[in-house]
Structure 1
Amino acid sequence: MNALYVYSDELLKYRFNDTHPFNQMRLKMTTDLLKSANFLNDEDIVQPRVATEEEILLVHKPDYVDAVKRAGHNEISEKELENFGLNTEDTPQFENMHEKCSMLVGASLTGADLIMNNKAKKVASLAGGLHHGFTGKASGFCVYNDAAIACQYLRVKYNQRVLYIDTDAHHGDGVQFTFYDMNDVMTYSIHETGRYLFPGTGLVTERGVDLGFGFSVNLPVDAFTEDDSFLQIFEESVEIVARQFNPDIIVHVNGVDAHYRDPMTHLSLTSKSYEEIPRIVNKIADKYANGKLLALGGGGYNIWQVVPRMWAQVWLAIKEIDSPKGKLPEAFIEKYQPLSKLDFPIEWEDDLSDYKDIPRRDEITERNAMVLDRIKMYLE
């Protein structure tokens, strides 16, 4: 079956303000890049539906959903905004918040339904991947946690064992703690260590509780980790996790903020990693989950130089199209280069002229290998 791509311009309306680093124009740019290169056609694209309140309540608490509704219409007190995390610099209230967030959640659920109703084996819904939202509180640019809702929806409605794989630079804390005491959703997150980066969680020792003990796996990698170290420990560990858990379906959050040009993190990945990461997950889905894969978006805050090219690789991977080389489509360059205040990339692969060698490479690689050894000890 063909892969499908969930998209609508309505998804661009998830927007805090004009200066906020979370900018969904990255989603439109990715879609335009894929179309300009003739990798994405109209028949590949499915319009998202709006999530129902009942579906959002699969994860979020009723009083929180009510607060989000009222915040979107300025019908809430400052104290309540503070209690629900809706007045922070990271996650401030915005107009029609509930309605716009429900569309974003609905896009991820659209992808889940397409797979479970045999419309496609694999679906990309890059608008989502908001993995920091908690059951009763907004956090880290995330109001409703569409990734957690999608996992719970697959678990409850379709009786699926879900392997959640998170390759965002930030720990997928909201998803992990939603399922921390469950054994039919396994959460795996490889991320920059919380010693230096929000949200400060994701330790190797966070393994779950009660029935969920052993079903939470974290690989915190050192700051400035480069391609080879990241890919080596990721591929080996995620294979072990998938083999042990034997999932029915995989949900993958494809944050691309571990790229060395991303302004929000301290990792040093290049386009090499982002060509490989979704292909590794795609192979894992084929081998262990009967090919079923829901690919979500996630972090990525350099929308001009990084996100469109890296997210395009997610779609190319699930379509099993080789990573392109050479120049980007002229139509894409002509449309977006004049808008960029940064040096705009013109080729699919990174120009590494601004890449800085890491003096602690051997030490970082060794420390990451020790994390992998510890995880292997837990799992095997």
Structure 2
Amino acid sequence: MASDSIFIYHSDTSGYKFGEEHPFDPLRLALTIDLLKEVDALYDEDIQPPTVYSEDELLSLVHRTDYLDAVKQLSEAEIDDNSVLAQQFGLHTEDTPYFPGMHKAAMSIVRGSVTAAELVMTGQTKHAYHLAGGLHHAFPDRASGFCVYNDAAVAIKHIRQTYGAKVLYIDTDVHHGDGVQWVFYDDPDVCTYSIHETGKFLFPGTGYVHEKGTDHGFGACFNVPLEPYTEDESWLESFNITLRKIISAFKPDVIISQHGCDAHAFDPLSHIHCSMRIYAQIPAIIHELAHTYTDGRWIALGGGGYDIFRVVPRAWSLVWLTMIDHPIAHAIAAGEEARLPDRWLSHWESISPHKLPTHWMDDPEDIEPMPRRIEITNKNRMMQQIVIQDL
């Protein structure tokens, strides 16, 4: 039976955990799902597990065999800082150390994203949401930036191989979506769009405006690097102007969006200074564009986000609330104050290191305005024009 929106989740993804002190914490998933349940936007019977696809069939679409063998071997090994195998494949760093059960957990994430893509492409749903996905930094031959397998790239490869559809990949994580970009750098039928803090100051140090693709793929890669301390108005202006121009020119058959929510002012790993306002508008804009250009076909994935109590649950929930046309999304769009559920707040406040916000949108007084706002905005406007100058 067809449904307008399907939510994908499997408990195995909670095993994707690098350690107790690591910022990439799967508790983000539990916080978000609990929040959605508390506002009657998600029920257990609405959650669909991933399809059990063959590991080799999926992973080989993107990743090298020697890398896959290494991940599987290290998943069963005791941790050893001097592991030659780990060093060879990027699994020895503080960012992305190997851990027991790594392959199983990472594979579950890949299956979830491919399931979301398959449900949309077969017409079983218009929209599909896979919270645990969006591991956009992994490369074919190595791990990077908290990412072991690149589920987004695998899902796109699956769509291209099975359906021959043109894919627009939209990445709003504060870190450049480098892994996905390089996999499709020569593919004219996959347009990669990433809006992020400039690589001059932030990992992975790429995502410059001159990165436009190569060979037949030249002109199908777009990067919108923003100045540190960019605020809501300039972020949204840059996003709206560039993305609308690009999607109009590319005319995709389906959209895959990555919803890293680490451009928030509270996030500890970046310097962009936005509020929850952008996380209400990002899914609203993509939802509109999907119904305008792709007959509604939209696959949404999670991504980064390291203020896991104050930011991630609200930002990720707003994607689903937008997908299902929930009253809370309509209230926020109308500028109404919408309060977070008291039961959710009381349940999680005891373990949160910060005082939890009481509303879906931020109190403006909680986010200090930045100096140099005009200068930052003008630099971002210059970048916008460079991005779209050939369209």
Q: Within 1, Cα distance between the matches of 2:388 and 2:117?
A: 31
2:23 maps to which of 21, 24, 34: 21
Give, as a single letter, the amino acid of the residue that structure 2 aligns with 1:83. Q
Indicate conservation of the 8 Å contact 2:15/2:102, yes or no: no
Q: Deviations over 1:4-27 (max 9, x none)?
A: 111122221111111100001111
* Pairing 1:89-128 to 2, within 5 Å after superposition: 89-128=94-133
Give, as a single letter, the amino acid of the residue that structure 1 aligns with 2:61. L
Which residues of structure 1 form unaligned runs of 5+? none
What is the RMSD of the two structures over their aligned residues, measured on CA atoms? 1.3
Give, as a single letter, the amino acid of the residue that structure 1 aligns with 2:132. A
Indicate conservation of the 8 Å contact 1:50/1:107, yes or no: no
Over the matched positions of the two proteins, sequence identity in percent amounts to 45
Provide the residue aligned with 1:79 in structure 2: 84
Matched position secondary structure for 2:4? coil
Indicate conservation of the 8 Å contact 1:131/1:175, yes or no: yes
Q: Deviations over 1:94-137 (max 9, x none)?
A: 00211111001111111111112221100110101000000100
Provide the residue aligned with 1:62 in structure 2: 65
Q: Within 1, Cα distance between the matches of 2:217 and 2:148?
A: 25
- Could you tell me how far 1:50 is from its partner in structure 2? 4.3
- Could you tell me how far 1:44 is from its partner in structure 2? 2.6
- Could you tell me how far 1:354 is from its partner in structure 2? 2.9
Which residues of structure 2 form unaligned runs of 5+? none
Q: Within 2, Cα distance between the matches of 1:122 and 1:46?
A: 13
2:375 paired with 1:363? yes
- TM-score, normalised via structure 2 length: 0.94
Provide the residue aligned with 2:317 in structure 1: 312
Give, as a single letter, the amino acid of the residue that structure 2 aligns with 1:44. D
1:233 maps to which of 219, 238, 248: 238
Q: Deviations over 1:20-59 (max 9, x none)?
A: 0000111111111011001112343111234422201100
- Deviating beyond 6 angstroms after TM superposition, the runs of 4 or more aligned structure 1 residues are none
1:46 maps to which of 42, 45, 48: 48
Cα separation, partners in 2 of 1:170 and 1:319, compared to 1, 3 Å: same
Indicate conservation of the 8 Å contact 1:275/1:323, yes or no: no
Q: Deviations over 1:122-165 (max 9, x none)?
A: 01101010000001000000000001111111111121111000
2:252 paired with 1:250? no
* Pairing 1:130-279 to 2, within 5 Å after superposition: 130-279=135-284
Matched position secondary structure for 2:255? strand
- TM-score, normalised via structure 1 length: 0.97
Q: Deviations over 1:217-240 (max 9, x none)?
A: 000000000111111110111111
Matched position secondary structure for 1:164? strand
- Could you tell me how far 1:345 is from its partner in structure 2? 1.5
Matched position secondary structure for 1:2? strand
Matched position secondary structure for 1:138? coil
Matched position secondary structure for 1:206? coil
1:353 maps to which of 348, 365, 371: 365
- Could you tell me how far 1:78 is from its partner in structure 2? 1.4
